[in-house]
Structure 1
Amino acid sequence: MAPAAAHRAALVAGLALALPAAAQEAGARVEVPSGQEVRFIEARRDAGAAAGLTAGITWRFRFVAPAISRVGGTVNLDTAAQDMEHLCNRFALPWLPQGEAVGQIVIELADREVEFGQPAPEATRYFEAFSVQGGRCVWEGF
Structure 2
Amino acid sequence: MQGLARGFMVALLMSAFARPVSAQDGAGVLVPVPSGQEVRWIDTISDAPGPGGLTMRFRFLAPQIGGEGPLDADLAATDMQALCDEFALPRLPVIGPRPAQVIISLSDRVVPFGETDEEAVQFFEAYSVVNGLCEWELF
The TM-score normalised by the length of structure 1 is 0.76
1-structure distance, mates of 2:105, 2:89: 15
Pick the aligned partner of 1:105 from 94, 102, 105: 102
**Among residues 129, 133, 139, which one is paired with 2:130 in the alignment?**
133
1:121 aligns with 2:118: yes
Distance 2:49 2:58 in 1: 16
Residue 88 in structure 1 maps to residue 84 in structure 2: yes
Which amino acid in the other structure matches residue 78 of structure 2? Q
Deviation at 1:11, TM superposition (A): 4.5
Give, in whole Å, the separation in 1 of the partners of 2:138 and 2:90.
Answer: 21
Q: Which residue of 2 aligns with 1:38?
A: 39
Unpaired segments of 5 or more residues in structure 2? 1-15
Q: What residue identity is the alignment partner of 2:34?
A: P
Identity of aligned residues (%): 49
Aligned pair 1:63/2:60, yes or no? yes
Contact 1:65 1:112 in 2 (8 A): yes
RMSD: 2.1
Q: Given residue 88 of structure 2, which amino acid in structure 1 is its aligned partner?
A: A
TM-score (norm 2): 0.78
Taking the aligned partners of 1:73 and 1:27, their CA distance within structure 2 comes to 24
Q: 1:47 deviation in Å?
A: 6.0
Structure-2 residue corresponding to 1:21: none
- Partner SS for 1:106: strand
The structure-2 alpha-carbon separation of the partners of 1:123 and 1:48, relative to structure 1 and needing over 3 Å to count, comes to closer
Aligned length: 119
- Deviation (angstroms), 1:49: 3.4
CA distance in 1, matches of 2:69, 2:107: 12
- Inter-partner Cα distance in structure 2 for 1:112 and 1:105: 21
> Which secondary structure state, in structure 2, belongs to the residue aligned with residue 67 of structure 1?
helix
Match of 2:32, as an amino acid? E
Q: Which structure: larger Rg?
A: 2
Q: Which runs of 5+ in 1 are unaligned?
A: 1-9, 16-23
2:85 partner SS: helix
